[in-house]
Structure 1
Amino acid sequence: MTAPDPEPAPSAPGGQPGTQTLIRGLRVLEALTAQDRPVGVGELSRMLDLPKSTVQRLLRTLDQEGWAQTSDDAVTRWQLSPRLFALARQDTLSASLRDVAMPHLRALGERSGETIHFSVLDRDVQLVLIERVDSVHPVRTFNAIGATTALHTSCSGKAVLAMLPHARVEEILARPLEKVMPNTSVDPQHLMHQVLEARERGYAVNISENRAGVCAVGAAVADDSGRPIAAVAISMPDTRFDAGRVPEWGAWVRSTARAITGALSR
Protein backbone atom coordinates (compact mmCIF):
# COMPACT_ATOMS: atom_id res chain seq x y z
CA MET A 1 0.00 0.00 0.00
CA THR A 2 1.41 3.36 -0.98
CA ALA A 3 1.82 5.89 1.84
CA PRO A 4 -0.26 9.04 1.45
CA ASP A 5 1.51 12.12 0.23
CA PRO A 6 2.62 14.42 3.04
CA GLU A 7 0.46 17.46 3.69
CA PRO A 8 1.87 20.41 1.74
CA ALA A 9 3.45 23.15 3.84
CA PRO A 10 1.24 26.21 4.24
CA SER A 11 2.22 29.26 2.28
CA ALA A 12 1.68 32.94 2.81
CA PRO A 13 -0.27 34.86 0.19
CA GLY A 14 2.06 35.49 -2.71
CA GLY A 15 4.91 33.61 -0.99
CA GLN A 16 6.67 30.28 -1.30
CA PRO A 17 5.42 27.14 0.49
CA GLY A 18 6.59 27.13 4.09
CA THR A 19 6.80 30.91 4.35
CA GLN A 20 3.78 31.11 6.64
CA THR A 21 5.19 28.40 8.91
CA LEU A 22 8.50 30.25 9.13
CA ILE A 23 6.77 33.53 9.93
CA ARG A 24 4.65 31.88 12.59
CA GLY A 25 7.72 30.25 14.12
CA LEU A 26 9.48 33.61 14.26
CA ARG A 27 6.38 35.14 15.86
CA VAL A 28 6.50 32.45 18.54
CA LEU A 29 10.17 33.26 19.21
CA GLU A 30 9.35 36.98 19.38
CA ALA A 31 6.53 36.28 21.85
CA LEU A 32 8.82 34.18 24.05
CA THR A 33 11.49 36.87 23.87
CA ALA A 34 9.02 39.57 24.94
CA GLN A 35 8.28 37.73 28.19
CA ASP A 36 10.55 37.69 31.24
CA ARG A 37 9.09 34.34 32.35
CA PRO A 38 8.13 30.98 30.86
CA VAL A 39 4.80 31.00 29.00
CA GLY A 40 2.15 28.34 28.51
CA VAL A 41 0.75 27.22 25.17
CA GLY A 42 -2.67 28.69 25.91
CA GLU A 43 -1.25 32.12 26.68
CA LEU A 44 0.91 32.05 23.54
CA SER A 45 -2.13 31.01 21.53
CA ARG A 46 -4.05 34.05 22.77
CA MET A 47 -1.11 36.40 22.26
CA LEU A 48 -0.55 35.26 18.69
CA ASP A 49 -4.20 34.61 17.80
CA LEU A 50 -3.29 31.12 16.59
CA PRO A 51 -4.85 27.72 17.40
CA LYS A 52 -3.29 25.90 20.34
CA SER A 53 -2.49 22.95 18.10
CA THR A 54 -0.53 25.19 15.74
CA VAL A 55 1.41 26.81 18.58
CA GLN A 56 2.13 23.41 20.13
CA ARG A 57 3.43 22.08 16.81
CA LEU A 58 5.66 25.11 16.30
CA LEU A 59 7.05 24.86 19.84
CA ARG A 60 7.87 21.19 19.38
CA THR A 61 9.73 21.99 16.17
CA LEU A 62 11.63 24.84 17.88
CA ASP A 63 12.45 22.50 20.77
CA GLN A 64 13.63 19.79 18.38
CA GLU A 65 15.96 22.27 16.67
CA GLY A 66 17.23 23.68 19.97
CA TRP A 67 15.67 27.17 19.90
CA ALA A 68 13.04 26.77 22.63
CA GLN A 69 12.66 24.56 25.66
CA THR A 70 10.26 23.78 28.49
CA SER A 71 10.84 25.24 31.93
CA ASP A 72 11.15 23.27 35.17
CA ASP A 73 7.65 24.29 36.25
CA ALA A 74 5.14 21.61 37.25
CA VAL A 75 2.85 22.90 34.50
CA THR A 76 4.47 22.84 31.06
CA ARG A 77 5.62 26.30 30.05
CA TRP A 78 7.98 27.40 27.32
CA GLN A 79 11.01 29.68 27.15
CA LEU A 80 13.90 30.47 24.83
CA SER A 81 16.86 28.12 24.96
CA PRO A 82 20.38 29.17 25.99
CA ARG A 83 21.47 28.23 22.47
CA LEU A 84 19.52 31.16 21.04
CA PHE A 85 21.15 33.58 23.48
CA ALA A 86 24.57 32.08 22.85
CA LEU A 87 24.04 32.77 19.16
CA ALA A 88 23.92 36.46 20.05
CA ARG A 89 27.58 36.17 20.99
CA GLN A 90 28.36 35.94 17.30
CA ASP A 91 26.87 39.30 16.37
CA THR A 92 29.15 42.26 15.77
CA LEU A 93 28.15 44.22 18.87
CA SER A 94 28.65 41.31 21.28
CA ALA A 95 31.93 40.35 19.62
CA SER A 96 33.19 43.92 19.90
CA LEU A 97 32.13 44.14 23.54
CA ARG A 98 33.88 40.88 24.37
CA ASP A 99 37.06 41.87 22.56
CA VAL A 100 37.21 45.17 24.43
CA ALA A 101 36.19 43.75 27.78
CA MET A 102 38.28 40.56 27.96
CA PRO A 103 41.63 42.08 29.07
CA HIS A 104 39.81 43.92 31.87
CA LEU A 105 37.79 40.85 32.86
CA ARG A 106 40.92 38.70 33.04
CA ALA A 107 42.70 41.32 35.15
CA LEU A 108 39.73 41.43 37.54
CA GLY A 109 39.72 37.63 37.71
CA GLU A 110 43.40 37.55 38.60
CA ARG A 111 42.93 40.26 41.20
CA SER A 112 39.91 38.70 42.90
CA GLY A 113 40.51 35.01 42.31
CA GLU A 114 36.76 34.65 41.80
CA THR A 115 34.49 34.01 38.81
CA ILE A 116 33.88 37.06 36.63
CA HIS A 117 30.64 37.35 34.66
CA PHE A 118 30.12 39.75 31.76
CA SER A 119 26.53 40.17 30.61
CA VAL A 120 24.74 42.32 28.04
CA LEU A 121 21.41 44.06 28.52
CA ASP A 122 18.54 42.60 26.52
CA ARG A 123 15.72 45.13 25.88
CA ASP A 124 15.60 46.35 29.51
CA VAL A 125 14.14 42.94 30.35
CA GLN A 126 17.06 40.74 31.36
CA LEU A 127 20.80 40.21 31.17
CA VAL A 128 22.43 37.60 28.92
CA LEU A 129 25.82 36.17 29.89
CA ILE A 130 28.24 36.46 26.97
CA GLU A 131 31.61 35.94 28.67
CA ARG A 132 33.03 34.36 31.81
CA VAL A 133 36.41 34.15 33.53
CA ASP A 134 36.53 31.17 35.85
CA SER A 135 37.66 31.29 39.47
CA VAL A 136 41.01 29.83 40.54
CA HIS A 137 39.30 28.05 43.44
CA PRO A 138 38.16 24.42 43.19
CA VAL A 139 34.78 25.43 44.63
CA ARG A 140 33.43 28.15 42.37
CA THR A 141 30.27 29.59 40.91
CA PHE A 142 29.28 28.75 37.35
CA ASN A 143 26.81 30.14 34.83
CA ALA A 144 26.63 28.83 31.27
CA ILE A 145 27.24 31.24 28.42
CA GLY A 146 23.83 32.33 27.19
CA ALA A 147 22.25 32.12 30.65
CA THR A 148 19.72 34.86 31.38
CA THR A 149 19.04 36.75 34.59
CA ALA A 150 16.13 39.00 35.50
CA LEU A 151 17.23 42.52 36.36
CA HIS A 152 15.72 42.56 39.86
CA THR A 153 17.46 39.34 40.98
CA SER A 154 21.12 40.18 40.37
CA CYS A 155 23.76 42.73 41.27
CA SER A 156 24.45 43.29 37.57
CA GLY A 157 20.77 43.93 36.92
CA LYS A 158 20.48 46.41 39.77
CA ALA A 159 23.66 48.16 38.64
CA VAL A 160 22.13 48.48 35.16
CA LEU A 161 18.87 49.80 36.61
CA ALA A 162 20.87 52.39 38.54
CA MET A 163 22.04 53.88 35.24
CA LEU A 164 18.57 54.16 33.72
CA PRO A 165 16.29 57.19 34.14
CA HIS A 166 14.20 57.07 37.31
CA ALA A 167 10.90 56.90 35.41
CA ARG A 168 12.14 53.96 33.35
CA VAL A 169 13.19 52.10 36.50
CA GLU A 170 9.73 52.63 37.96
CA GLU A 171 8.19 51.16 34.79
CA ILE A 172 10.44 48.10 34.97
CA LEU A 173 9.80 47.49 38.67
CA ALA A 174 6.05 47.83 38.10
CA ARG A 175 6.07 44.63 36.02
CA PRO A 176 5.19 41.30 37.65
CA LEU A 177 8.43 40.24 39.37
CA GLU A 178 9.29 36.61 40.03
CA LYS A 179 10.55 35.59 43.47
CA VAL A 180 13.32 33.27 42.30
CA MET A 181 14.86 32.61 45.73
CA PRO A 182 13.77 33.27 49.33
CA ASN A 183 16.14 36.28 49.35
CA THR A 184 14.73 37.71 46.10
CA SER A 185 12.94 41.00 46.67
CA VAL A 186 9.83 41.66 44.60
CA ASP A 187 8.81 44.79 46.48
CA PRO A 188 9.21 47.76 44.08
CA GLN A 189 9.94 50.19 46.93
CA HIS A 190 12.64 47.98 48.43
CA LEU A 191 14.15 47.36 45.01
CA MET A 192 14.13 51.07 44.22
CA HIS A 193 16.03 51.68 47.47
CA GLN A 194 18.65 49.14 46.35
CA VAL A 195 18.85 50.79 42.93
CA LEU A 196 19.37 54.22 44.49
CA GLU A 197 22.09 52.77 46.72
CA ALA A 198 23.77 51.27 43.66
CA ARG A 199 23.50 54.63 41.87
CA GLU A 200 25.28 56.33 44.76
CA ARG A 201 28.01 53.70 45.21
CA GLY A 202 28.54 52.77 41.57
CA TYR A 203 28.00 49.05 42.23
CA ALA A 204 25.31 46.68 43.52
CA VAL A 205 25.31 43.57 45.70
CA ASN A 206 23.49 40.24 45.43
CA ILE A 207 23.31 37.88 48.40
CA SER A 208 21.71 34.61 47.27
CA GLU A 209 18.93 36.49 45.45
CA ASN A 210 19.29 34.66 42.14
CA ARG A 211 20.87 31.34 43.07
CA ALA A 212 21.18 29.59 46.42
CA GLY A 213 24.57 30.05 48.07
CA VAL A 214 25.85 32.51 45.44
CA CYS A 215 26.83 36.11 46.18
CA ALA A 216 28.09 38.76 43.79
CA VAL A 217 29.10 42.39 43.41
CA GLY A 218 28.56 44.09 40.04
CA ALA A 219 28.78 47.36 38.12
CA ALA A 220 27.33 48.54 34.82
CA VAL A 221 29.09 49.39 31.55
CA ALA A 222 27.71 52.30 29.53
CA ASP A 223 27.82 53.39 25.91
CA ASP A 224 28.80 56.84 24.62
CA SER A 225 25.43 58.29 25.62
CA GLY A 226 25.69 57.03 29.18
CA ARG A 227 23.06 54.32 28.73
CA PRO A 228 23.89 50.93 30.30
CA ILE A 229 24.61 48.18 27.80
CA ALA A 230 26.38 45.55 29.91
CA ALA A 231 27.59 44.68 33.39
CA VAL A 232 30.56 43.02 35.04
CA ALA A 233 30.31 41.06 38.29
CA ILE A 234 32.51 39.22 40.76
CA SER A 235 30.65 36.04 41.71
CA MET A 236 31.51 33.69 44.56
CA PRO A 237 30.06 31.01 46.87
CA ASP A 238 28.58 32.46 50.05
CA THR A 239 31.25 30.58 52.03
CA ARG A 240 33.82 33.09 50.71
CA PHE A 241 31.58 36.14 50.85
CA ASP A 242 32.78 38.65 53.44
CA ALA A 243 30.54 41.66 53.99
CA GLY A 244 33.56 43.60 55.18
CA ARG A 245 35.16 43.28 51.73
CA VAL A 246 32.14 44.53 49.78
CA PRO A 247 33.49 48.11 49.46
CA GLU A 248 36.79 46.69 48.16
CA TRP A 249 35.12 44.38 45.65
CA GLY A 250 32.75 47.17 44.71
CA ALA A 251 35.63 49.51 43.95
CA TRP A 252 37.21 46.81 41.77
CA VAL A 253 34.12 46.12 39.66
CA ARG A 254 33.33 49.83 39.40
CA SER A 255 36.85 50.53 38.17
CA THR A 256 36.67 47.62 35.71
CA ALA A 257 33.29 48.72 34.35
CA ARG A 258 34.54 52.27 33.89
CA ALA A 259 37.67 51.02 32.12
CA ILE A 260 35.53 49.00 29.68
CA THR A 261 33.24 51.97 29.14
CA GLY A 262 36.26 54.15 28.38
CA ALA A 263 37.76 51.60 26.02
CA LEU A 264 34.49 51.33 24.11
CA SER A 265 34.42 55.08 23.47
CA ARG A 266 37.86 55.17 21.88
Structure 2
Amino acid sequence: MTTTDPAAEPAPQPTGQPGTQTLIRGLRVLEALTAQDRPIGVGELSRILELPKSTVQRLLRTLEQEGWAQTSNGAVTRWQLSPRLLTLARRDTLSKSLREVAKPHLVALAARTGETIHFSVLDRDVQLVLIDRVDSIHPVRTFNAIGATTALHTSCGGKAVLAMLPPAKAEEILARPLEKVMPNTSVDPQHLMHQVLEARERGYAVNISENRANVCAVGAAVADSSGHPIAAVAISMPDIRFDPARVPEWGAWVSETARAITDALAH
Protein backbone atom coordinates (compact mmCIF):
# COMPACT_ATOMS: atom_id res chain seq x y z
CA MET A 1 0.00 0.00 0.00
CA THR A 2 1.32 3.40 -0.90
CA THR A 3 1.28 6.06 1.80
CA THR A 4 1.44 9.79 1.27
CA ASP A 5 3.09 12.28 3.60
CA PRO A 6 0.37 14.87 4.39
CA ALA A 7 3.03 17.57 4.87
CA ALA A 8 4.12 17.09 1.26
CA GLU A 9 0.66 17.74 -0.12
CA PRO A 10 -0.22 21.29 -1.11
CA ALA A 11 -2.65 23.03 1.20
CA PRO A 12 -6.12 23.32 -0.25
CA GLN A 13 -6.69 26.71 -1.88
CA PRO A 14 -9.73 28.70 -0.90
CA THR A 15 -12.17 29.18 -3.74
CA GLY A 16 -15.04 31.52 -4.14
CA GLN A 17 -14.17 33.74 -1.15
CA PRO A 18 -15.56 37.26 -1.72
CA GLY A 19 -12.27 39.01 -0.90
CA THR A 20 -10.27 36.76 -3.21
CA GLN A 21 -12.77 37.16 -6.03
CA THR A 22 -12.75 40.95 -5.70
CA LEU A 23 -8.94 41.05 -5.71
CA ILE A 24 -8.76 38.85 -8.81
CA ARG A 25 -11.30 40.99 -10.61
CA GLY A 26 -9.45 44.16 -9.62
CA LEU A 27 -6.21 42.73 -11.00
CA ARG A 28 -8.00 41.79 -14.21
CA VAL A 29 -9.18 45.39 -14.54
CA LEU A 30 -5.59 46.63 -14.12
CA GLU A 31 -4.39 44.12 -16.72
CA ALA A 32 -7.05 45.28 -19.16
CA LEU A 33 -6.13 48.94 -18.62
CA THR A 34 -2.44 48.08 -19.12
CA ALA A 35 -3.19 46.38 -22.44
CA GLN A 36 -4.84 49.52 -23.85
CA ASP A 37 -2.96 52.25 -25.71
CA ARG A 38 -5.70 54.76 -24.89
CA PRO A 39 -8.20 55.53 -22.12
CA ILE A 40 -11.16 53.13 -22.17
CA GLY A 41 -14.81 53.36 -21.15
CA VAL A 42 -16.64 51.22 -18.61
CA GLY A 43 -18.81 49.58 -21.27
CA GLU A 44 -15.84 48.43 -23.33
CA LEU A 45 -14.04 47.18 -20.23
CA SER A 46 -17.17 45.31 -19.24
CA ARG A 47 -17.24 43.51 -22.59
CA ILE A 48 -13.51 42.69 -22.47
CA LEU A 49 -13.72 41.31 -18.93
CA GLU A 50 -17.17 39.73 -19.36
CA LEU A 51 -18.32 41.36 -16.13
CA PRO A 52 -21.40 43.48 -15.40
CA LYS A 53 -20.88 47.21 -15.93
CA SER A 54 -21.88 47.89 -12.32
CA THR A 55 -19.13 45.55 -11.09
CA VAL A 56 -16.49 47.13 -13.35
CA GLN A 57 -17.58 50.62 -12.29
CA ARG A 58 -17.31 49.66 -8.60
CA LEU A 59 -13.85 48.15 -9.10
CA LEU A 60 -12.65 51.22 -11.01
CA ARG A 61 -13.86 53.56 -8.27
CA THR A 62 -12.03 51.50 -5.66
CA LEU A 63 -8.84 51.54 -7.76
CA GLU A 64 -9.25 55.29 -8.21
CA GLN A 65 -9.71 55.80 -4.48
CA GLU A 66 -6.49 53.88 -3.80
CA GLY A 67 -4.60 55.73 -6.52
CA TRP A 68 -4.15 52.95 -9.10
CA ALA A 69 -6.53 54.18 -11.80
CA GLN A 70 -7.80 57.56 -12.94
CA THR A 71 -10.19 59.11 -15.40
CA SER A 72 -8.92 60.94 -18.47
CA ASN A 73 -9.87 64.51 -19.31
CA GLY A 74 -12.76 64.73 -21.71
CA ALA A 75 -16.50 65.02 -22.08
CA VAL A 76 -16.91 61.23 -21.87
CA THR A 77 -15.54 59.42 -18.82
CA ARG A 78 -12.80 56.97 -19.77
CA TRP A 79 -10.30 55.19 -17.58
CA GLN A 80 -6.54 54.69 -17.62
CA LEU A 81 -3.77 53.61 -15.28
CA SER A 82 -2.55 56.07 -12.67
CA PRO A 83 1.09 57.25 -12.77
CA ARG A 84 1.37 55.81 -9.26
CA LEU A 85 1.86 52.41 -10.89
CA LEU A 86 5.23 53.68 -12.14
CA THR A 87 6.52 53.05 -8.63
CA LEU A 88 5.93 49.34 -9.28
CA ALA A 89 6.31 48.98 -13.05
CA ARG A 90 7.08 51.02 -16.14
CA ARG A 91 4.23 49.74 -18.34
CA ASP A 92 1.99 52.81 -18.36
CA THR A 93 1.73 53.54 -22.10
CA LEU A 94 0.68 57.14 -21.52
CA SER A 95 3.73 57.84 -19.36
CA LYS A 96 5.96 55.95 -21.79
CA SER A 97 4.87 58.21 -24.61
CA LEU A 98 5.32 61.25 -22.38
CA ARG A 99 8.89 60.19 -21.60
CA GLU A 100 9.65 59.53 -25.25
CA VAL A 101 8.31 62.92 -26.35
CA ALA A 102 9.90 64.82 -23.48
CA LYS A 103 13.35 63.18 -23.46
CA PRO A 104 15.14 65.28 -26.12
CA HIS A 105 13.80 68.48 -24.57
CA LEU A 106 14.94 67.38 -21.10
CA VAL A 107 18.41 66.52 -22.41
CA ALA A 108 18.65 69.92 -24.13
CA LEU A 109 17.65 71.73 -20.94
CA ALA A 110 20.20 69.75 -18.92
CA ALA A 111 22.94 70.70 -21.39
CA ARG A 112 21.86 74.34 -21.21
CA THR A 113 21.80 74.54 -17.42
CA GLY A 114 24.30 71.90 -16.31
CA GLU A 115 21.82 70.98 -13.57
CA THR A 116 19.61 67.97 -12.87
CA ILE A 117 16.33 67.96 -14.78
CA HIS A 118 13.28 66.23 -13.34
CA PHE A 119 10.20 65.23 -15.33
CA SER A 120 7.15 64.27 -13.28
CA VAL A 121 3.56 63.37 -14.09
CA LEU A 122 0.48 64.43 -12.18
CA ASP A 123 -1.03 61.63 -10.08
CA ARG A 124 -4.72 62.57 -9.70
CA ASP A 125 -4.65 66.02 -8.04
CA VAL A 126 -2.60 64.84 -5.08
CA GLN A 127 1.07 64.56 -6.02
CA LEU A 128 3.70 64.36 -8.73
CA VAL A 129 5.46 61.10 -9.66
CA LEU A 130 8.99 61.32 -11.09
CA ILE A 131 9.19 59.33 -14.34
CA ASP A 132 12.43 60.63 -15.88
CA ARG A 133 15.61 62.43 -14.86
CA VAL A 134 18.68 63.83 -16.59
CA ASP A 135 21.57 64.14 -14.17
CA SER A 136 23.70 67.21 -13.61
CA ILE A 137 27.26 67.43 -14.91
CA HIS A 138 28.47 68.64 -11.49
CA PRO A 139 29.95 66.26 -8.90
CA VAL A 140 27.73 67.84 -6.24
CA ARG A 141 24.19 67.51 -7.52
CA THR A 142 20.65 66.70 -6.49
CA PHE A 143 19.19 63.23 -6.85
CA ASN A 144 15.67 61.85 -6.76
CA ALA A 145 14.81 58.22 -7.57
CA ILE A 146 12.48 57.38 -10.43
CA GLY A 147 9.04 56.72 -8.95
CA ALA A 148 9.55 59.22 -6.11
CA THR A 149 6.43 61.19 -5.21
CA THR A 150 6.15 64.84 -4.21
CA ALA A 151 3.19 66.70 -2.74
CA LEU A 152 1.97 69.54 -4.95
CA HIS A 153 2.37 72.25 -2.31
CA THR A 154 6.03 71.39 -1.59
CA SER A 155 7.49 71.53 -5.10
CA CYS A 156 7.96 74.02 -7.91
CA GLY A 157 6.45 71.55 -10.36
CA GLY A 158 3.43 71.08 -8.14
CA LYS A 159 2.86 74.81 -7.80
CA ALA A 160 3.25 75.22 -11.57
CA VAL A 161 0.60 72.53 -12.06
CA LEU A 162 -1.71 74.27 -9.58
CA ALA A 163 -1.16 77.53 -11.46
CA MET A 164 -2.49 75.93 -14.64
CA LEU A 165 -5.70 74.77 -12.93
CA PRO A 166 -8.76 76.99 -12.49
CA PRO A 167 -8.19 79.08 -9.32
CA ALA A 168 -11.20 77.52 -7.59
CA LYS A 169 -9.74 74.02 -8.15
CA ALA A 170 -6.32 75.11 -6.86
CA GLU A 171 -7.96 76.63 -3.77
CA GLU A 172 -9.88 73.40 -3.19
CA ILE A 173 -6.67 71.35 -3.30
CA LEU A 174 -4.82 73.74 -0.98
CA ALA A 175 -7.70 73.68 1.50
CA ARG A 176 -6.93 70.05 2.33
CA PRO A 177 -4.67 69.17 5.27
CA LEU A 178 -1.10 69.89 4.14
CA GLU A 179 2.04 68.30 5.52
CA LYS A 180 4.94 70.51 6.61
CA VAL A 181 7.77 68.46 5.13
CA MET A 182 10.60 70.93 5.77
CA PRO A 183 10.99 74.10 7.87
CA ASN A 184 10.57 76.11 4.64
CA THR A 185 7.38 74.26 3.62
CA SER A 186 4.37 76.54 3.63
CA VAL A 187 1.07 75.02 4.74
CA ASP A 188 -0.84 78.30 4.75
CA PRO A 189 -3.42 78.10 1.92
CA GLN A 190 -3.47 81.88 1.41
CA HIS A 191 0.32 82.11 1.16
CA LEU A 192 0.45 79.12 -1.17
CA MET A 193 -2.32 80.55 -3.35
CA HIS A 194 -0.31 83.76 -3.64
CA GLN A 195 2.64 81.68 -4.89
CA VAL A 196 0.35 79.85 -7.32
CA LEU A 197 -1.03 83.09 -8.75
CA GLU A 198 2.53 84.44 -9.03
CA ALA A 199 3.53 81.27 -10.91
CA ARG A 200 0.53 81.70 -13.21
CA GLU A 201 1.68 85.21 -14.07
CA ARG A 202 5.35 84.29 -14.58
CA GLY A 203 4.87 80.89 -16.20
CA TYR A 204 7.07 79.08 -13.67
CA ALA A 205 7.33 78.39 -9.94
CA VAL A 206 10.23 78.29 -7.49
CA ASN A 207 11.05 75.94 -4.62
CA ILE A 208 13.67 76.92 -2.05
CA SER A 209 14.30 73.97 0.28
CA GLU A 210 10.56 73.37 0.67
CA ASN A 211 10.64 69.67 -0.17
CA ARG A 212 14.18 68.62 0.71
CA ALA A 213 16.92 70.35 2.69
CA ASN A 214 19.44 72.37 0.68
CA VAL A 215 17.66 71.69 -2.63
CA CYS A 216 16.25 74.46 -4.82
CA ALA A 217 14.35 74.18 -8.08
CA VAL A 218 12.54 76.12 -10.79
CA GLY A 219 9.70 74.38 -12.64
CA ALA A 220 6.95 74.74 -15.23
CA ALA A 221 3.88 72.68 -16.12
CA VAL A 222 3.19 70.63 -19.26
CA ALA A 223 -0.39 70.56 -20.58
CA ASP A 224 -2.42 68.18 -22.70
CA SER A 225 -4.35 69.22 -25.80
CA SER A 226 -7.19 70.59 -23.67
CA GLY A 227 -4.86 72.82 -21.65
CA HIS A 228 -5.08 70.63 -18.53
CA PRO A 229 -1.76 70.13 -16.65
CA ILE A 230 -0.46 66.57 -16.86
CA ALA A 231 3.25 66.89 -16.01
CA ALA A 232 5.99 69.24 -14.87
CA VAL A 233 9.62 69.95 -15.74
CA ALA A 234 12.03 71.18 -13.06
CA ILE A 235 15.61 72.40 -12.95
CA SER A 236 16.93 71.08 -9.62
CA MET A 237 20.16 72.12 -7.91
CA PRO A 238 21.85 72.26 -4.50
CA ASP A 239 21.40 75.59 -2.76
CA ILE A 240 25.12 76.33 -3.06
CA ARG A 241 24.54 77.00 -6.79
CA PHE A 242 21.14 78.67 -6.45
CA ASP A 243 21.43 82.34 -7.44
CA PRO A 244 18.21 84.35 -7.03
CA ALA A 245 19.41 86.73 -9.75
CA ARG A 246 19.29 83.85 -12.25
CA VAL A 247 15.74 82.74 -11.43
CA PRO A 248 14.15 84.72 -14.32
CA GLU A 249 16.66 83.15 -16.73
CA TRP A 250 16.06 79.62 -15.43
CA GLY A 251 12.33 80.30 -15.39
CA ALA A 252 12.36 81.34 -19.04
CA TRP A 253 14.33 78.22 -20.01
CA VAL A 254 12.14 75.76 -18.10
CA SER A 255 8.96 77.46 -19.37
CA GLU A 256 10.26 77.22 -22.92
CA THR A 257 10.98 73.51 -22.42
CA ALA A 258 7.52 72.83 -20.96
CA ARG A 259 5.88 74.61 -23.88
CA ALA A 260 7.98 72.62 -26.35
CA ILE A 261 6.89 69.33 -24.76
CA THR A 262 3.26 70.50 -24.72
CA ASP A 263 3.48 71.38 -28.42
CA ALA A 264 5.19 68.06 -29.24
CA LEU A 265 2.43 66.11 -27.49
CA ALA A 266 -0.15 67.86 -29.63
CA HIS A 267 1.42 66.55 -32.87
**Band the TM-score falls in, shorter-chain normalisation:** 0.7 to 0.9
Instruction: Return the letter of the residue paired with 2:136.
Output: S
| 1:184 shift after superposition | 0.5
> What is the alpha-carbon distance in structure 1 between the residues aligned to residue 17 and residue 180 of structure 2?
42
Contact 1:152 1:158 in 2 (8 A): yes
Q: Report the counterpart of residue 11 of structure 2 in structure 1.
A: 6
* 1:73-125 deviation digits (Å, cap 9, x = unpaired): xxxxxxxxx99424564222111111111111000000000000000011111
**Is the CA contact 1:162–1:198 (under 8 Å) kept in the aligned structure 2?**
yes
Task: Show the 5 A alignment for 1:123-202.
Answer: 123-202=124-203
CA distance in 1 between counterparts of 2:10 and 2:132 reads: 48
- CA shift, 1:30, in A, is 5.5
Alpha carbons of structure 1 residues 123 and 137: separation in structure 2 relative to 1, 3 Å: same
Q: 1:258 to 1:136 in 2, by over 3 A?
A: same
Counterparts in 2 of 1:108-119, with a 5 A limit?
Answer: 108-119=109-120
Contact 1:10 1:21 in 2 (8 A): no
Q: Deviations over 1:164-221 (max 9, x none)?
A: 0111111101111111111100000000000000000000000000001100000000
Q: Any gaps of 5 or more consecutive residues in structure 2? A: 31-58, 69-82
2:67 to 14, 33, 36: 33
Q: Paired residue for 2:209? A: 208
Q: 1:33 is aligned with what amino acid?
A: G
Q: 1:91 to 1:5 in 2, by over 3 A?
A: closer
Instruction: Give, as a single letter, the amino acid of the residue that structure 1 aligns with 2:67.
Output: T
Structure exhibiting the larger radius of gyration computed from Cα positions: 2
SS at match of 2:137: coil
Structure 1: unaligned runs, 5 residues or longer = 35-81
Match of 1:19 among 18, 21, 40: 21
Structure 1 distance, partners of 2:64, 2:225, is 28
Question: 1:141·1:235 contact (CA, 8 Å) conserved in 2?
Answer: yes
Does structure 2 conserve the Cα–Cα contact (< 8 Å) formed by 1:160 and 1:228?
A: yes
Identical pairs, percent: 75
Over aligned residue pairs, what C-alpha RMSD do you find?
2.5
Q: CA deviation at 1:9?
A: 2.4
Output the TM-score relative to the length of structure 1.
Answer: 0.74
Name the SS for the 2:128 alignment partner.
strand
Q: Distance in 2 between matches of 1:88 and 1:228?
A: 23
Which whole-Å CA distance do the structure 1 matches of 2:22 and 2:223 have between them?
39
Counterpart of 1:261 in structure 2: which amino acid? T
> In structure 2, what is the equivalent of residue 104 of structure 1?
105
What is the TM-score of this pair, normalised by structure 2?
0.74
How far, CA to CA, are the matches of 1:95 and 1:262 in structure 2? 17
Distance 1:178 1:229 in 2: 23
Contact 1:153–1:180 (Cα < 8 Å) also in 2: yes
Assess, with a 3 A threshold, how the Cα gap between structure 1 residues 242 and 97 changes in structure 2: closer, same or farther: same
